[in-house]
C-alpha cells in the first residue's frame, strides 16, 4: 500500500527531486526528506480502506507489496465477498484477478476513469505515477502559521507537456517535521477539485509517518475515501516473478 500512497500523494515529491530546475535547494531538500518517508526499494503494507458515498459505506482490508515504482500487487483480505481479488500493476499494465469468476482481466484505456474499488480514486490515479516523470515545477508558496500550526506550503504547477488535468496542486507540510498535512488539487480555473488530508501519526517501519490519508471531493463534502495504514515494512526481499501475471492465480 505504500506504493499506493506514494503514487497518489507523493507523485509530485518523487519527481520534484528529479527537477531540472529546483526552485531552491531548500525546497529540494525538504521534498527529498518527505520522499524518504516512503522510499524503499520494496515494501509490504497492510491497510484498511473506508469509503463513504451517498449510496453506500464500505470497509476493506488489503495487503500490498511493491518493488520500485513499476511493480505492485494488492490483495484484498476482507470483506468475504471480495476476498482474494488481486490488482497487479506491472509497468503500464494493470490486471485484476477476480476470484468469484476465477478470471483475470486487463484494464483497458476505457476503464481508466472508473473508480478503483468503489472509492474516490480512479484506476488512472494508480497508473499515473509511472507516467509522471518530471511533470511539475515546484516552489514554496507560503511559510508560517496557519490553522494553528507552523507550516510550509509548496505549489506545484504542471509543466506544459505533462498529461495532468489539474491546474495546480498545493502541498502543506509541518514546518519542522516536514510531515505532510494536506494536499489540494485545483482545476484549470483554480477551483478546488479534491483534497487529501494526512493524519494519524505513528511509528511505522522505524519512523514517524502519517498513517491515515483521507480524500474528500469538493462537490460531495459528505463523502470520503480513507486509507488507514496498519502495518508497513520496507526494503524486503521481493522477486520479480512475484509480480508476473501468471503468478496471480497461484496466490
Nearer to other proteins among residue 166 and residue 242 (C-beta): 166
Say whether residue 113 binds other proteins (CB under 8 A). yes
Q: Does 27 bind other proteins (CB under 8 A)?
A: no
CA dihedral 177, 178, 180, 183 (to 10 degrees): 150
Binding mask 121-160 vs other proteins (x if CB under 8 A, - otherwise)?
-x-x--xx--x----------------------------x
Per-residue buried b or exposed e for 124-157, using 16+ beta carbons within 10 Å of the residue's own CB:
bbbbbbbebeebbbbeeeeeeeeeeeebbbbbbb
Q: Which of 164, 184, 234, 238 binds other proteins (CB under 8 A)?
A: 164
| Least distance (Å) between residue 136 CB and other proteins | 13
Burial of 193 (0-12, 13-18, 19+ CB in 10 A): middle
Strands 192-204 and 149-158: unpaired
| Closer Cβ to other proteins, 11 or 164, answer by number | 164
Residue whose grid cell is 500550526: 149
Q: Quick check: helix, strand or coil at residue 17? A: coil
* 105 makes contact with other proteins (CB under 8 A): yes
Contact between 163 and other proteins by CB under 8 A: the answer reads: yes
Q: Are 69 and 130 in contact, with CB atoms under 8 Å apart?
A: yes
- Counting contacts by CB under 8 A, is residue 103 touching other proteins? yes
- Nearest distance from C-beta of residue 165 to other proteins, angstroms: 5
Instruction: Using CB under 8 A, count the residues that bind other proteins.
Output: 49
User: How far apart, in whole angstroms, are the C-alpha atoms of residue 219 and residue 13?
Assistant: 27
Min CB(26)–other proteins separation in Å = 29
The minimum distance between CB 30 and other proteins, in angstroms, equals 27
- In this structure, the dihedral spanned by the alpha carbons of residues 143, 225, 100 and 251, taken in order and rounded to 10 degrees, is 30
Among 17, 73, 117, 204, binds other proteins (CB under 8 A): 117
Residues found near other proteins in the complex (CB under 8 A): 51, 53-56, 58, 81-82, 85, 91-94, 96, 98, 100-101, 103, 105-115, 117-118, 122, 124, 127-128, 131, 160-167, 185-188, 193
Amino acid at each position: 500500500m505504500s506504493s499506493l500512497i506514494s503514487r497518489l500523494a507523493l507523485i509530485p515529491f518523487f519527481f520534484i527531486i528529479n527537477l531540472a530546475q529546483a526552485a531552491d535547494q531548500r525546497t529540494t531538500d525538504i521534498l527529498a526528506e518527505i520522499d524518504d518517508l516512503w522510499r524503499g526499494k520494496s515494501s509490504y503494507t497492510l491497510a484498511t480502506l473506508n469509503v463513504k458515498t451517498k449510496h453506500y459505506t464500505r470497509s476493506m482490508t488489503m495487503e500490498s507489496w511493491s518493488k520500485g515504482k513499476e511493480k505492485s500487487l494488492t490483495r484484498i483480505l476482507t470483506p468475504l465477498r471480495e476476498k482474494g481479488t488481486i490488482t497487479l500493476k506491472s509497468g503500464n499494465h494493470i490486471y485484476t484477478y477476480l476470484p468469484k469468476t476465477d478470471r483475470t482481466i486487463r484494464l483497458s484505456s476505457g476503464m481508466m476513469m472508473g473508480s478503483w474499488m468503489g472509492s474516490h480514486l480512479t484506476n488512472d490515479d494508480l497508473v499515473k505515477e509511472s507516467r509522471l516523470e518530471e511533470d511539475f515545477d515546484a516552489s514554496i508558496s507560503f511559510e508560517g502559521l496557519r490553522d494553528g500550526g507552523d507550516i510550509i506550503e509548496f505549489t506545484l504547477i504542471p509543466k506544459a507537456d505533462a498529461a495532468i488535468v489539474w491546474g495546480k496542486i498545493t502541498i502543506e507540510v509541518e514546518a519542522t517535521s516536514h510531515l505532510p498535512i494536506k494536499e489540494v488539487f485545483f482545476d484549470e480555473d483554480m477551483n478546488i477539485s479534491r483534497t487529501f488530508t494526512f493524519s494519524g501519526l505513528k511509528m511505522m517501519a522505524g519512523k514517524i509517518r502519517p498513517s491515515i490519508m483521507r480524500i474528500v471531493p469538493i462537490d460531495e463534502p459528505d463523502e470520503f475515501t480513507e486509507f488507514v495504514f496498519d502495518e508497513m515494512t520496507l526494503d524486503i526481499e521481493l522477486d520479480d516473478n512475484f509480480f508476473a501475471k501468471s503468478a496471480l492465480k497461484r496466490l
